[in-house]
Amino acid sequence: MAKAMTKRMKTLMLSGMTIVLCVMIMVAGSFALFSQNSKNTTHLIAGELNAKLERVALTTTKLNSKGYLVTEEEQTTQNTPVDFTGETTDNVFGLDTDEKIVPCTVLSATMQLSNDGDVAFGYYIAIAAQDGYETTELAKQIKVSVTDAGGSNLVTPQYLSDGLTIGSETNYFAVVEKGQTATFTVTLTFEDRTDNNKAQNAETIFDLLVYATQVTDDPNA
């Protein structure tokens, strides 16, 4: 019985050695095959979202140097727009810091949003008086409207005290594709009302905000 087991163990050991040798021969044999290496260096550049906001036309009915209301129109060319891209405190209607407005004043600025980047973007617009200025009598008497290139209201006009929003972060007003532009006109009207005297010497400050976010899916596809 002992001899049989010894013989069986030797057989198993030999079989094991045979397997190891076979593996070694297979591994050694793989280095004898023809081989070829390929190398690819790929250069990646991140795209850019570049939304430019410019005023391309301005029409105002405001006080002149003699104290009369007069209408003036400033039609800028495509080569000389007024840039309002980024964060700026420049008056979008071209008013000086000490310039006053009165009832029947109308300020209208046509804005152009250009896509100078690499990606399509969706945008929305918000106009709102800054904190503390939304409750002034002046803000309550100024009507805000935003119209398209054809003069149609994009939303129902609102008082500056209430603010106005066109679109949202999750529901863009419109999409501007690469190399394209969008145009809209913002108009403020100081209404002629029986309670205008309440707004004398009052002031207000408001923000015109245009938000642009990359759009990855073609809405027309």
Q: Is residue 37 in a domain?
A: no
Considering the entire predicted model, what is its pTM?
0.78
Residues 25 and 130 in one domain: no
Residues 132 and 195 in one domain: yes
Kindly report the CA angle at 99 between 98 and 104, in degrees rounded to 5? 150
Q: What is the dihedral of CA 205, 206, 208, 214, to 10 degrees?
A: 120
Strands (DSSP E) found in the chain: 51-63, 69-75, 82-83, 106-115, 121-129, 142-147, 158-159, 164-166, 174-176, 181-190, 206-214
Residues 21 and 65 in one domain: no
Q: Is residue 113 in a domain?
A: yes
Residues 21 and 99 in one domain: no
Residues 27 and 58 in one domain: no
At residue 13, does pLDDT exceed 70?
A: no
At residue 5, does pLDDT exceed 80?
A: no
Q: Is residue 135 in a domain?
A: yes
Q: Is residue 147 in a domain?
A: yes
Question: Beta 206-214 vs 51-63: how paired, if at all?
Answer: unpaired
Q: Is residue 46 in a domain?
A: no
Could you read off the pLDDT of 184-216 as tens digits, one per residue?
999 999 999 999 999 999 999 999 999 999 999
Q: Is residue 43 in a domain?
A: no
Range of the domain at 18: 1-31
Backbone angles phi, psi at 141, to 5 degrees: -110, 0
Q: Number of helices (H) and strands (E) in the chain: give both, helices first.
A: 2, 11
Q: Is residue 108 in a domain?
A: yes
Residues 208 and 106 in one domain: yes
CB atoms within 10 A of CB 136: 19
At residue 15, does pLDDT exceed 80?
A: no
Instruction: Report the domain count for the chain.
Output: 2
Residues 89 and 136 in one domain: yes
* CB of 48 closer than 8 Å to CB of 27: no
